[in-house]
Amino acid sequence: MANTKNIISNILRIGLAVSLIAYLIYSGAIDWKFLSGLFVSWHFTAVALLGFFLLHFIIAYRLKILIDAHGLRLDFFPAVRLTFIGLFFNTYLPGAQGGDLVKIYYASKGNPGKRAEIITIMIFDRIIGMFSLFVTPLLLAPFFYSDISGNAALQGLLLITGGVSLGVVVCVVIGLKMDVEQGRLFVWLYTTLPKGDLLKRILVTIHSYRHNKKQVLLAVMLSVSMQTLVIGSMLFIAAAILPGGADARMAILIPMGFLATALPITPGGIGVGEAALDGLFNLFGLHGGAELLLGWRLLMVLLGMIGLYYYIRADTRFIHHDVDAR
């Protein structure tokens, strides 16, 4: 029964994605001929592709930092392989989080006693990545004050991203400071709820980062710097495919467009992200948001093939205990 529901859900989501893309084409928001610029202006495309390639090395290093801080060991190049495997499945699977689930499977491989901790760390890694998407527009806002001051819609979006960012910071700070092992509320939860022991392991895993604040801060700083690389690469795609080329104002809009792709409404946010970025571009009188995101998807299809290669060869254990190294 559950499998049937999943199949129906995936079919509906794929149908919605196709419908959104069809609408964008019909409305004139997508002009396929622009995408030929990826080949015509291949030098811009090559720079963008290099930027996204390097991006996944930084993502891998961020995961390595968080894993190593918990007393486990994830070497850098295995982390790179794991990251590209996740990219392949995020790009090619119909589900929105397919790559994350595959990464969790391979990261847990050979670590049956640490599965809950590894899953928690990888979710925490994902949260840090999402946090950087929310906070980047706020960091860029002062550079576009004159454009934002007269735009109520964009001001509202920035207030939302600011509220979410603050909420994440507050939750993490509280989670790091509270006594999740001996606190009365937590002890009651562990003894009352089903799978209470599992909940305790998850909360203790997050709480343990109170001893590794520098590593968490470094992971956040890496994530924000990654957004700079993403924005720069997207601007090169814009220079390749859009008639008006790249515009500096796109920098504050691109992270917001990527937030829409993270919504699990359609597979990989296809259609939703294109519509969102196109609408965001319109706030500044810009055009080509949908084509820009489609250009990014095409480059991810190419990079995803690296993940396919590593997936075929994924017959090794990625994460080890510290004692395994001795």
DSSP of 141-180, one letter per residue?
GGGGHHHHHT-HHHHHHHHHHHHHHHHHHHHHHHHHHS-T
Can you say whether residue 269 is alpha, beta or left, with left for phi > 0 and alpha for psi between -120 and 50 degrees?
A: left
Q: What is the dihedral of CA 254, 258, 260, 262, to 10 degrees?
A: -170
Spatial CB neighbours of 300, under 8 Å, sequence gap ≥ 6: 52, 87, 91
d(CA 112, CA 90): 25
Instruction: State the residue for tokens 């290669």.
Output: 309
Beta bridge partners of 321: 72
Q: pTM above 0.75?
A: yes
What local confidence, expressed as pLDDT, does residue 70 receive?
80
Phi, psi of 26, deg, nearest 5: -65, -40
The structure tokens listed for 322 are: 């510290």
Phi, psi of 321, deg, nearest 5: -80, 155
Higher-pLDDT residue of 233, 200: 233
- Name the band, by pLDDT with cuts 50, 70 and 90, for residue 325: very low
Q: What is the pLDDT of residues 44-85, one digit of tens each?
A: 999 999 999 999 999 999 999 999 888 788 899 999 999 998
Three-state secondary structure call for residue 30 = coil
d(CA 219, CA 27): 41
Would you say residue 2 has pLDDT above 60? no
Would you say residue 36 has pLDDT above 90? no
Q: What is the mean pLDDT of the chain?
A: 80
Q: What is 263-300 written as a DSSP string?
A: STTSGGGTTHHHHHHHHHHHHTT---HHHHHHHHHHHH
Beta bridge partners of 74: 319
What local confidence, expressed as pLDDT, does residue 44 receive?
93
Cβ(71)–Cβ(319) under 8 Å?
A: no
**Total Cβ atoms within 10 A of residue 51:** 20
Three-state secondary structure call for residue 93 = coil
What local confidence, expressed as pLDDT, does residue 326 receive?
39
Cβ(266)–Cβ(93) under 8 Å?
A: no
Q: What is the pLDDT of residues 135-180, one digit of tens each?
A: 999 999 999 888 888 788 888 889 989 998 888 888 777 777 777 7
The structure tokens listed for 309 are: 């290669």
Three-state secondary structure call for residue 319 = strand
Q: What is 205-219 written as a DSSP string?
A: HHHGGGG-HHHHHHH
Mean pLDDT computed over 177-192? 74
